[in-house]
Amino acid sequence: MTAIRQIRCIALGTALVAATVAAFAQTPAQGGGETTGAAVGVGAHGSADSMAGSGGTGTSQRIVAPSHVDPLVQKRDTDAAANAQYRANKKALKQEYHSQLKAAKEQRKAAKRDAAQTLNEQSGGAAAADKGAQN
């Protein structure tokens, strides 16, 4: 594998990880909307203060990093996702093609075997009749 391919693979992997992390970071928290102090950017000591300040309910807003506004970054991310999808589709189609190719090869072998067997039976029966006529 060339160095450029390795760099491409690393860059693609990094982009997919970043996209996955971004997707999970934007999903709402499970468990009734309560979030931990670390999720809202408050330390372990500040979580009790935030609960006391909000009336003790324990609910707080979740701070999420904004998505990239730069169009080049957005294009890069969409291109990376499209390339990953294209490669997955290409791999699936290639596997399907090879399985069809293998099945066709098996059918050709079976047809050839059957034809040879039929020919042997026909020629064997004629050869036996010739032998019986000669004796």
**Residue-wise pLDDT tens digits, 8-34:** 888 888 887 777 777 777 655 555 544
The whole-number pLDDT of residue 56 equals 53
In sequence order, the 6+-apart residues with CB closer than 8 A to the CB of 39 are: 29, 62, 63
Give the pTM.
0.37
Element of type H or E holding 132: helix 71-134
CA distances from 40 to 17, 30, 56, 82, 86 (A): 22, 15, 16, 33, 37
Model pLDDT for residues 81-129, shown as the tens digit of each residue: 999 999 999 999 999 999 999 999 999 999 999 999 999 998 876 555 5
**Mean pLDDT over the full length of the chain:** 76
